[in-house]
Each structure stands twice: as structure tokens, then as C-alpha cells.
Amino acid sequence: MKRRRRNALSGRFIFTSLLFICGILLFAGYSANFNGGIFTRAASAIFLPMQRGIDAIGSHISVNTEEAKSRSALIEENQELRSQLADAQDQVSQLQRQKTQLKDLQELYQLDQSYGQYPKTAAHVIARDSSNWFNSFTIDKGAADGMKVNMNVMAGKGLIGIITEVGTHYAIVDTIINDASSVSAQISDKGQNLITTGSLKDMTESNVIRISSLEDPSASVAAGDAVVTSNISDKYLPGILIGYVTNLTNDANKLTRSGSLTPAADFKKLREVLVITQIKETGDHE
């Protein structure tokens, strides 16, 4: 500590002495009116290096100031570009959402036109069960909007399911791929009756719904034939497309056939649905 104080005092003493000597030289030179000579040379020898040092320090400070300004400008420009990029990404996302929504609405419109005989209302899917498939889901319309249990629900190009629970502002739909689902159906252009049975396992593995009890002893039904809801169903309105036959095999009794169909609707991407507000009022529920 004492050594530091001595060094500090020595430095101050030297600096003060130099300033004093420089002052004497300047005064002497001025008093003697010398343009040259020993005083001028001595002053030059002392002040020129000091001036160069001061100039160098000033230049360094100026360069650093310019670099700081340039760096600050680059940072500001980078932040502005990031903001513009974020805005552009938001616009792209919004356009993509609008495009998807437009596609959904176009599909609903086409579906509505295909089943003009039934009164319908559109609804948004607001929740679903925990599986990747829409085994059951919730829509944003309920009793306050006229929703009732057993109203049929459609999406994409065909049948989705049926309303099983209604709240004031929501309704729950069980789909035809639900393990508990069973639908009386028929081949669209041939009229043979059959039963479709939901199976989440089959949907997960092969994207199909089971067909059973197809009354087709002549084996006239083939892959690609359309399957629709039957007029003998007691809760599904007739003629609503379910899907298309994928494969069939003869049952042991040789009177009926079993197999599978590919559903007309995409049960992984349900966003908008149509609810048929007419209920089939016949018999006990299936």
C-alpha cells in the first residue's frame, strides 16, 4: 500500500515538474521573442510528442465512436428486419389458416348441396378425445342453438356420427369409428343391407370400418361400391354416404359376407361439421 502511494506521488511529481518546466520554457521564449533557438527547440521537443499523442488518442476515440455508431445502426437494422420477418410469418400463417378455412367451407357447401333434402346447420369442432382419431368430439353449438340428441352429423363427403349429449352451448358427437358404434347401412345402387361396426384399432392400423352381415349370396357387391345409411336404420337418416367397400370375404354360412370399407370422411382432420337438425323418429335406438 505504501509503495503504491509512493509511486502515485512520484508520478504526480514528475507530471507537475514537466508542466512547470514547459511553462518556464514557453514564458522564456515568449519574453525573449525567440523564433528559434534553444527554448523553441526544447519546447518543440517536449510538446510535439505530446501533441502527437493527443492527436492519436483523439483519432482512436473518433474511430471507436464511428464503430459504435455503425454497430448500433446494424443492431437496430437487424431488429427491424426481425420484426418485419415476424410480421411476414404471421401474415403467411394467417393466409394459410384462411385458405384451410375456405377449403373447409367449400367442402361443407358441397356437402350441403348433396343433401339438400335435409335441414342443416354448421358447427365448429372445439374439443376431442385424447386419441389421434376423432373417436368423439365436442362442437360449439348446444341446446340454445337447437341441438338435440340423435341428430346426425356430417363432414368431408359423408357421415361422421351422431349427437349423444347436449349442453346449453355445446354438444358431444360419437363418431361411427367408435368401438361402440353400429350403423344399419346398404349398398347404394344395389340395395343390399349390411352393418358397419366401428373399430378404433382398424382405423389406426388400416383406416377402415368393418362391414358385416352383408346380404349378398350372389357376390354382386365389389370393391369400390358406395355404402350409405339404410332406410331401416332407426336413428340415422337414409342415404347418407358412409364410405366405399374395400374388400369382402364370404361368411361360413355362404349367405352373408364380411369385410371393410374406407370412410368418406377424414377422421383425423375434423374442424367444421354439418349437423342435420332433423331427427329420425322411429322405433328404439340402435
Which class for 79: exposed (0-12), middle (13-18), buried (19 or more C-beta within 10 A)?
exposed
Structural domain boundaries of the chain?
2-66, 120-276
Q: Give the Cα separation of 68 and 76 in Å (integer).
A: 12
Task: Please give the pLDDT value at position 249.
Answer: 94
Look at residue 54 in the predicted model and tell me its pLDDT.
56
Q: Mean pLDDT in the chain?
A: 82
What per-residue confidence (pLDDT) applies to 198?
93
pLDDT of residue 90: 80
Q: Decide: helix, strand or coil at residue 134.
A: coil
pLDDT, position 283 = 53
Q: Supply the pLDDT for residue 50.
A: 58
* Helix, strand, or coil (residue 42): helix
DSSP, res 237: P
Q: Is the pTM of this model over 0.85?
A: no
Tell me how far apart the alpha carbons of residues 186 and 193 are, in angstroms, rounded to a whole number. 4
**Structure confidence at residue 46 (pLDDT):** 57
pLDDT value for 9: 46
Residue 19 has a pLDDT of 58
> What is the torsional sign of CA 149, 116, 134, 142?
negative
Q: What is the pLDDT of residue 77?
A: 79
State the pLDDT at residue 134.
80
Asked if CATH classification 2.40.10.340 holds for the domain at 120-276, the reply, yes or no, is yes
What pLDDT is attached to residue 150?
96
Which pLDDT score is estimated for 51? 59
Calculate ∠ Cα 124-95-271, nearest 5°. Answer: 20
* pLDDT-flagged residues of the chain (< 70): 1-67, 69, 130, 132, 282-286
For residue 281, what pLDDT is reported?
A: 79
Contact 223, 246 (CB under 8 A): yes
pLDDT digits (tens, 9 = 90+) for 117-159: 999 999 999 998 767 678 899 999 999 999 999 999 999 999 9
